[in-house]
Structures are given as C-alpha cells and as structure tokens.
A and B are shown apart, each in its own frame.
Chain A
Amino acid sequence: MNNQNGKRFLKPGRHLMMGNEAMAEGAISAGLRFFGGYPITPSTEVIEHLAKRLPQVGGVCMQMEDELASINSVMGASLVGAKAMTATSGPGLSLMVETISMAANLEIPFVFCDVQRCGPGTGSVTDPHHNDLGLVRFSGNGEFEVIALAPMNCQELFDLTITAFNYAETYRCPVFILSDAYLGHLHEVVDIPPKEEILNKVIKREVPPSEEISPRVFSYLDKVKNEYVIPKPPIMGTEYVPGMFLHTPHGPEGILSPDPFRFVQTMVDKIKTNKDKICLTENYKLDDAEIVIIAYGLPVRVSYRAIEIAREEGIKVGAFRLITVWPFPDEQVKEVVKNAKAVIVPELNYTGIIAEQVERVTPLGTPIIKVPQVAVFHHPDDILKAIREVAQ
C-alpha cells in the first residue's frame, strides 16, 4: 500500500490491501487514537501498519511490554476519551481476559482484533483455527456479554471494524473482530468509500452537552420504559466522570451497589435486549432451501461455492451467515432451521462451538451435520459431501 501522507481517510476507490492492514485502516477511519499491542503472529502486521500510520494522523501506537500491558494501556486510553484498540492472537487473548472482564464491568469501550491461529498453547502460528470463540464469549471472570463480529474478506475487515467501534461506543462492552491467520494475510481489493460516507457512519466519542450530563454514567434499567439506558462513556479529565471507577458491582453512578444481582443483570441484558440491532446476518439462496448451511468467517466463502455446485445438481441448499457470531441470533436461526430437512455447520474447528448453539435452537429430529476442519481451509468438496449425503 502506498503512503497516505498523513491522511486519516484513504483516497476513495480501490486499494489492494492485506487483511490485517484493511482492519487497521478501518480502525483509523473510525477514529482510532490509541493502539497498544505486542507482536504475535499472525496479527503482527496490524501493529506494524499502525506504528507507521497512527502517528501520521496524530494518534499513538505503542508496543507494550506484554499483552497484559497492551490491554491495560488500551483501557487507560479509553478512560481518557480516546478510541482505542488492540490486536492479538490466541495466546495473547488468554493473557488479556482479566482486563477484558474489568473493562466489561466498567463499561469501558474498546475494540479487540483477534487474528486466530491454530491452538492450543503456542500451536501452529500461521494456520487458521476458529478456536477462540469459546474464550471470547466467556472472556474473563464474571458474567457479561460481548459482541463478536466475523468478517469473511478484506472489504469486511475494513467495514466491520468501523461497525465494531460504533458498537463499542453504543453498547459499551468489549467488541471483538474474529479474523484468522488466512484472512489476516489475504491480499484483496478493498473499495474505500468517500470520507463523508465514513464520517456519517462513525459515532464520535465526546462529552455530552452540559445540560445532558447526569451523574448516571453507567447503564441502568429505565423502569418506566422497561429498557436499558446505556449512557455515553464517561471521560476522565472532563466533568463527565463518576466519583470513582470501581470494578466491583456498582450502580449507575459508579458507587458500590448493594444489589450485585441487578448489576450483573444489567451487564448481560443491556446486550441481550438489543440483539435485534446487534445481530447482523446474511441469507444466501435460502428462499427455497431444504438444506441449510450455517457458517461464519472464511468457511462461508467455501460454503457459497459448494452451494453453487450443489444447486447445479438440483439440490435445494442455501446458507445463513452469521456476521455477528456473538450474541448468537437465536430467534433468526430458529426461524431458518424450522422447516429444514437438515442443517450443516462447517466450522474451522473440531468442537463446533457454533454448532452447539445451533443444536440448541433446532427442532429435535432435524439432523445437524458438523463439518469440522483445523488449520486449513475447508475444500468445497468437504461441504458438498455433507450436502449430497443429506440430500439423498
């Protein structure tokens, strides 16, 4: 990619980019001001790209001493009002979960890019493996909900990163982008929209006008409307702050809450009750489909190819794609699998982390076929085989 001479927005039009760079550029477009990271394959290009680009736009990119420091510096930056992000891979995520849990507790917004690699342990560093989702959705002690988005190409790495920042601002919970070793290293053309279009989308971090400032800076249930109010994130160094940021169960003013139940309920339900706005999905040839494929991330692309071939053979198969993997869109999936003859879940892992969720909402008796794969792409034939088997 050519040097952008210090501009936050790339020239509109087509750019050839590596996945990790597309994600980094998406973040800069969304207004990223602070990145704290620690090199780890396959996410390293993110910090490398941002080390060059962020100072050009007046932001800060710091290589910290370890992942614990990375995520904590991101917290610090977000606390004083900067849009902040980190990027890492499985082993780094494992180190960061304590802080993620604290950030969720204090509703400090940040974006987390997980370029997944093959685990467990150090694993095999340049191979893709969607093995982190289990850790992501339970990332840390305590009970809270996170949002996880799964792009499937470089264009989406750019676009969904902007969405991720908006989600972080709106819902004030950890927002993950689930990339992987192949996607992060893929080079594809990304169509950059004009600056105005991006700016229209981006939700800014700012102190609310002084007449709107209330001591309630953390989420709470509005009992009259019976919906959760998620105030704008407070900013240290301004008058819009609570008396203290305590990562213990607290009320909307930040003061110790005598009612931990209500606190935990708020942390979980503020996301769950907004599922219809958070859950992004995509239907592919689903209208007349008898067999339904449910997939996210790279396996979606392979599934689409398998569906084309199967359709030529006269098999009525379609796909339901999860763009938001977590929270899991129960209702939508329920609707899609209701009349299906069979459900196929190709996942880039062995256990079938999402397959388990699908099982939960699929009528008893409908067969669910997992197509697991580890460390390499699925071949369309893998999925075709499953399709043909259930079609008979």
Chain B
Amino acid sequence: MSGELPMYPSEKPEHPYVLDSYAGRILNTYSSRFCAGCGYGIIGQIYTRVFEDLKLDPNLHPLVIGIGCYSQILLLVHADAQKVLALHGRAPAVATGMKMANPNMKPIVFSGDGDCLGIGGNHFIHLCRRNLDCVIFIFNNSIYGMTGGQGAPTTLFGAKSSTTPYTMFENRSDGIKLALAAGATHVARTTVAHPRTFMKYFKKALKHKGTSVIEIVTPCVTYFGRKNVDSLGAEYLGLEGKKMDTGGKMVDWIKRNSVRINQAKFMTEEELFNKYIIGEFRYESDKPEYSEEYARIQKIAMGDK
C-alpha cells in the first residue's frame, strides 16, 4: 500500500450503505481498491450493511484484519468500526488477546485462505479449539492475491498459478473440515454469489457464544480467473473449459462449483472432488466458551468457588 489514496472513478453511488463506509464517509471516494470483478467489495458492503442494520456497538466489535488483498476492505467497512490491521496470519491471536483482556468484546476477524490456513493455520486451530467467542471469516479465493497470484493451500487441483505453472498437484486444505475437527462451534461456508445466506450466517454468528467460522468463497479474477478455465480438474468428465476472465463468469463458475450440504450427502467423493460444499456444518450453542470458563477459573483462584 503506497501513500496514495485510491483514485478510481468516484461518482456517488446509489447504494445507501456505501455512504456509511469509511471511504464514503471519511474520504468521500465511494470507491474500492479492488480489481473490477473482485468479490471483496461485496463482502465489505455486506459487513457495513449488517453493522448499520443491527446498529452494532463499535466499542464491542473490534475488527481484526489480516494481511492480503482483503486488508483493503478496511476502506469499505463501516466508518464507525474500530479496526486494526494485524500481521499476516496472526489475526486470531490478536483477537484472543482482545477478547481475554476485555471479555465484553466480540472481535470479528477477517482473514484470507493463505492467511488463515497457510501461515496462520496454527492460530486458527487453537482459536477453534478454545471456542473463544469471536467471528472469523475466511475469504477463500483459492489463490494468494496480494502477492500476485501464487498457489495457496486451498488452490484447487489442476489450477494454474504463478508458483504452480504446471498446475496444482497438492492436496487442498479445507478450512471447514479443519474448523470442525478443531472444535469450532459454529461452522458454515457460503459464497459471494449467495449474499443473503452470507448475511444470515453473519447475523447468527453475532448472536452465537463461541467461535464462528464462516468461509466465503470469493472470486479473484485477476490471478485465478484469467489463468484458469472453468472445468478445473473436471476434465475427466469430458468437460471442455471456458475462460473465466470476468467477475460475472467467475461468480457463475462459483455457483456451478458449489454443492449444498444436503445434496452433498448423496454424492460420492469423486463427484465432490474440487467442489465447494456450502451450508451450515455445525451449530452448537451449549458448548463452554473460553472467556467464560476463564472467569470461572478466576473465581476459583480468588477463593470464592
């Protein structure tokens, strides 16, 4: 990020929530710094929308943002939100410190697939294990966008990226399975093509007591879309891929490549290969939450059990 502020065309948008965003209200630019067709704009807008609709208390919902293209969402989120940019992968740990030092808070963490499942995988696992009361979003664009399109742990089999020029051959890491195994109590996946579902999950997460993990599949047109075709790894089905070099085509592909959780139950592993299973995977509201448990420990330590 250089010292210059974004200078995209900046006509006043029709959308009312844009005016509540940091860029809109403070910088008067009504624009984002994302590529045309990127999904992060949608996510930023939805965040602002939920923030405004629910009149969230900014003092209680600090926003901890990791490092990736999505860091720029901080310009799109609600102007009142208190935000801190954490280091690459370390946002869950920062949120843990916040929550424990001020248990009234419910931090919201933004992280990318590389951020959360690559460099910060360990923190993510332990956040889920503790069931610390917070919401963590994983923006899964299947690529490292910010550094210029390298392979991520989530890159789909057969995809090309700048560090997998001969196509990706590694096993893919699945944030949802990881979260489930690690013990998060609210786990869901959705995509930017399903914004209403995303809003529903987000609102539910805000009411949940415990770790909410919400993965959002989002397109990176510039580094994923332009380099790949939409048959991705499904060539064995005799598919011939089409280009995905615009946001629309990618969102289309994301829709086609997503399978609802209840449908997925009846599909074979082979059929689910390289697909995104979307839906709510777990919701358990009665599991012990870390900061509450710690308060109990404090009482024991103070001698009044």
Contacts and interface: CB of A to CB of B under 8 A. Distances in A.
Contact of B82 (A65, A69, A102, A236): A236
A60 interface: yes
A60 B101 contact: yes
Given A65-B122, A77-B100, A81-B101, A56 B84 contact: no
B22 interface: yes
A237 to B, nearest CB: 5
Given A55-B297, A256-B5, A258-B3, A76 B22 contact: no
Contacts of B178: none
A241 interface: yes
A247 interface: yes
Given A69-B93, A237-B105, A245-B85, A55 B64 contact: no
Given A6-B302, A66-B122, A260-B3, A236 B90 contact: no
A217 to B, nearest CB: 12
A64 B302 contact: no
Contacts of B285: none
A236 B62 contact: yes
Nearest to A33: B101
Given A75-B97, A237-B62, A55 B302 contact: yes
Interface string B102-131: 101101000000000000001101100000
A84 interface: yes
B294 interface: yes
A280 interface: no
A55 B85 contact: no
Interface string B49-87: 000000000011010100000000010000100111111
Given A243-B22, A244-B85, A84 B93 contact: no
B264 to A, nearest CB: 31
B26 interface: yes
B199 interface: no
Contacts of A58: 298, 302
Given A77-B97, A256-B1, A241 B86 contact: no
Contact of A244 (B3, B83, B93): B83
Interface residues of A, number: 50
Interface string A52-92: 10011010101011101110111111111110100000000
Nearest to B291: A60
Given A55-B297, A243-B26, A72 B101 contact: no
B94 interface: yes
B96 interface: yes
Interface string B184-220: 0000000000000000000000000000000000000
Nearest to A239: B59
Nearest to A58: B298
A145 to B, nearest CB: 21
A62 B98 CA distance: 12
Contacts of B96: 36, 62, 64, 69, 73, 76
Given A5-B303, A56-B302, A66-B122, A36 B97 contact: yes
Contact of A236 (B1, B98, B126, B301): B98
B141 to A, nearest CB: 23
Contacts of A62: 96, 100
Contact of B74 (A52, A76, A244): A244
B303 A68 contact: no
Contacts of B84: 79, 106, 236, 244-245
A99 interface: yes
Contacts of A74: 97
Given A72-B87, A243-B26, A245-B84, A237 B60 contact: yes
Given A65-B126, A236-B84, A80 B93 contact: no
Given A62-B100, A64-B126, A73-B94, 16 more contacts: A36-B96, A36-B97, A65-B122, A65-B126, A72-B86, A75-B94, A79-B98, A82-B102, A236-B82, A237-B59, A237-B60, A237-B104, A243-B22, A243-B26, A245-B85, A260-B3
Closest CB pairs A-B (n = 5): A76-B97, A73-B97, A72-B93, A77-B101, A55-B301
26 contacts: A34-B100, A36-B96, A52-B301, A55-B300, A56-B298, A62-B100, A64-B126, A65-B126, A66-B122, A69-B92, A69-B93, A72-B87, A72-B93, A76-B95, A76-B97, A76-B98, A76-B107, A80-B97, A84-B101, A237-B59, A237-B102, A243-B22, A243-B26, A247-B87, A258-B3, A260-B3
